[in-house]
Structure 1
Amino acid sequence: MTWSSVLTTIFNGTLYALACLAGWGYGLLRVLVWPLLHLAHAVLLTILLPLRLLAKFEAILSFFGTAVLTGAILGLAIYLITTGTVDTLHRWFGSIWKPASRRRGGGSQGRRLLEAVKGAPSFSPSDSISSDEYCMEWYDRQDRQDQPPQTDGTIVEEEESS
Structure 2
Amino acid sequence: AQSGADHINAHRTFAVALGPWVRSGVLDTQHLSQVDLLRTIEAVAGIPPMSQWDANAHVLGGIWRATPDAAPAPVLPMQTAMLRNPGHCAADSPFRHWPVDPVPGADHIAWNALPPARSYTPTALLKISGPEQLRQEWLASKGPVAYAALLRRLNTMAAKQQRPLDSLIAGDGGD
What interval of TM-score do these two structures reach, taking the shorter chain for normalisation? Answer: under 0.3
**TM-score, length-normalised on structure 2?**
0.17
- The structure having more radius of gyration, on CA atoms, is 1
**Structure with greater contact order relative to length (CA < 8 Å, sep ≥ 6):** 2
Flag the structure with higher helix content: 1
